[in-house]
Amino acid sequence: MTDQATMPTRRAADGRRRYAAIDLGASSGRVVVGEVAAGGLDIAEVHRFWNGPVRAPEGYRWDLLYLWREILTGLRQAAEQGPLVSIGIDSWAIDYGLLDHDGILLGNPWHHRDGRTSGLAERLDARIPADELYAINGLQRLPFTTLYQVMASRASSMWVAVDQLLLIPDLLTLWLTGRRGAERTNASTTGLLDATTGTWSQRVLDAIDAPASLLPELRDPGDVVGPLLPTVQQATGLGPDVLVTCVGSHDTASAVVGVPADDRASWAFIACGTWALAGVEIDAPVLSEQSRSANFTNEVGVDGTVRYLRNVMGLWVLSETQRTWEAQGRGVGLVDLLTQAESLPPGGPVIDIDDPSLLAPGDMQSRIEALCRAGGLRVPDSPGATVRCILDSLAAAFARTVAEAARVSGTDVDVIHLVGGGSQNRLLCRLTAQASGLPVFAGPVEATALGNVLVQARAHGDLEGSLADLRSVIRRTHELVRYEPS
């Protein structure tokens, strides 16, 4: 906990206490300020910036130096509005930076959509069988998971210079504070964490020929890391009393904190943005063969919960389709596309939205058409029909995933909470309710930033209680939209 004696220096003139959330998604980033007073919470975005894959000659990368500059800009703008208590960072999962023995970043991090990990999961099967690996890490089999990316990095001549691996939020925390660590909710997405013990797995590290020293000590949401480095203070105008606090640094972990669920009801979540993650919150991992066969993942949540979920391709397919049309000079605004899609009757083509062919950047419409032809389905004949195919396919995947998560984990589900950017898509929400046969509560859009700020505020004494208590704050302060199945 924070030294209470320092708190008054970080209280705004109106008595509110202010927290900054650095929230990095796979298509955009922003700095959000949350204000806490009298048990209530308001948030406001102070700076937003683009994010996405950059095609370098060797493959797809993240432009981390650009993101760092934009983060400092956002923090400077937050400082201009008043004092801050703390800063928390969340981002997409899996990707990382590699540091040399002097703590210097060895190049921009690889993007998980790059194809360099192709075939590595099958190669690892010869060293540690898939069922044994699942019994250890409890993760969905995804070809771009961190442990496969490490295998690809080891094949590079750069590996001899590598000292340590830091996931994206942990790397940015290092640049803010000078202190290394690995926040546990994000660490649980790497495939390198033991789902039972909550510690790094030496068995998995041995299987990929990686030393234990590659990974830093673990931290938990709510842990206070420390103050800002003098260089960061100078760049942002923030003072030495502003602290960096661990939150659920996997953005989905923060988003699930921000689900405004009433624990008197049994609920499932869909955190829908560029990626979508659908599942249920449970108390302990499910590591059965049935769970592995269903390809579900057990990720650590805040307060020791488990996010039992499966990745779904998400709105990436829609945004990449739009990008393709724009590049071809056939761009249509999203509002018009959704209007066209909503006007179409049900019964259109539904594809496997998680087909591997949809993972990489490129001409998404051609791939959708190919999947329709391969499945003997009607090929969409207009942009609106293509969008309807994408949304119908997403809704079907959401419904299927929630039903399987409930069945395999032994959890009842009465309602679905759909949070994140996808909650603004009324057609997607309506189709999800219809496909699942369950009411869908849409919102808040800002669930990730809200969850980030809630964990910080509790760590510093401005809120208290369990996750249910934190979620009740959101229910009191945010309006939800309910979609009924019909």
pLDDT tens, position by position, 366-414: 999 999 999 999 999 999 999 999 999 999 999 999 999 999 999 999 9
What confidence tens digit (pLDDT) does each residue in 229-249 have? Answer: 999 999 999 999 999 999 999
Pairing outcome for strands 276-282 and 267-272 = antiparallel
Query: Could you tell me the pLDDT band of residue 7, with boundaries at 50, 70 and 90?
Result: very low
Backbone phi and psi for residue 394, each to the nearest 5 degrees, phi listed first: -65, -45
Residues listed for the chain: 486
Stretch (H or E) spanning 276: strand 276-282
Dist. CA 264–CA 101, nearest whole Å: 51
pLDDT (mean) for 196-203: 97
Dist. CA 162–CA 166, nearest whole Å: 11
Give the start-end residues of each E strand in 25-176: 28-37, 40-50, 54-56, 59-61, 86-91, 96-99, 164-167
Distances (CA, A) of 292 to 349, 406, 440: 29, 15, 27
Query: Could you tell me the pLDDT band of residue 8, with boundaries at 50, 70 and 90?
Result: very low
Contact 310, 278 (CB under 8 A): yes
Dist. CA 105–CA 91, nearest whole Å: 18
Residue that is written with structure tokens 């769970």 in the block: 291
Judged on CB neighbours under 10 Å (0-12, 13-18, 19+), 310 is buried
Query: Could you tell me the pLDDT band of residue 39, with boundaries at 50, 70 and 90?
Result: confident
Backbone phi and psi for residue 382, each to the nearest 5 degrees, phi listed first: -160, 160
DSSP for 295-347, written as a single string: T-EEEE-GGG-EEEEEEE-TTHHHHHHHHHHHHTT----HHHHHHHHHTSPS-
Query: Could you tell me the pLDDT band of residue 330, with boundaries at 50, 70 and 90?
Result: confident
Alpha carbon distance, N-terminus to C-terminus of the chain: 49
Residue 41 has pLDDT above 80, yes or no: yes
Dist. CA 101–CA 161, nearest whole Å: 7
pLDDT (mean) for 203-226: 98
**pLDDT value of residue 394:** 98
Is the bond preceding residue 444 a cis peptide, omega within 30 degrees? yes
Dist. CA 315–CA 318, nearest whole Å: 5
Distances (CA, A) of 138 to 133, 191, 296, 298, 308: 7, 8, 8, 5, 10
Dist. CA 134–CA 293, nearest whole Å: 10
Dist. CA 450–CA 256, nearest whole Å: 10
**pLDDT value of residue 372:** 98
Dist. CA 358–CA 368, nearest whole Å: 8
Residue 484 in tokens: 């009924």
What confidence tens digit (pLDDT) does each residue in 245-290 have? Answer: 999 999 999 999 999 999 888 999 999 999 999 999 999 999 999 9
pLDDT (mean) for 181-202: 98
At what angle are helices 426-436 and 334-342 packed, to 10 degrees?
Answer: 40
Residue 284 in tokens: 């302990």
Q: Which residues pair with 55 in a beta bridge?
A: 60
Average pLDDT value for the chain: 94
What confidence tens digit (pLDDT) does each residue in 136-169 have? Answer: 999 999 999 999 999 999 999 999 999 999 999 9
In the three-class reduction of DSSP (H, G, I as helix; E, B as strand; rest coil), residue 195 is classed as coil
DSSP for 461-473, written as a single string: TSS-S-HHHHHHH
Contact 258, 476 (CB under 8 A): no
Of 198, 243, 208, whose CA–CA distance to 9 is shortest? 243
Residue 11 has pLDDT above 80, yes or no: no
Residues labelled catalytic: 251
Q: What percent of the chain has pLDDT over 90?
A: 92
**Count of CB atoms within 10 A of residue 355's CB?**
17
pLDDT (mean) for 20-28: 95
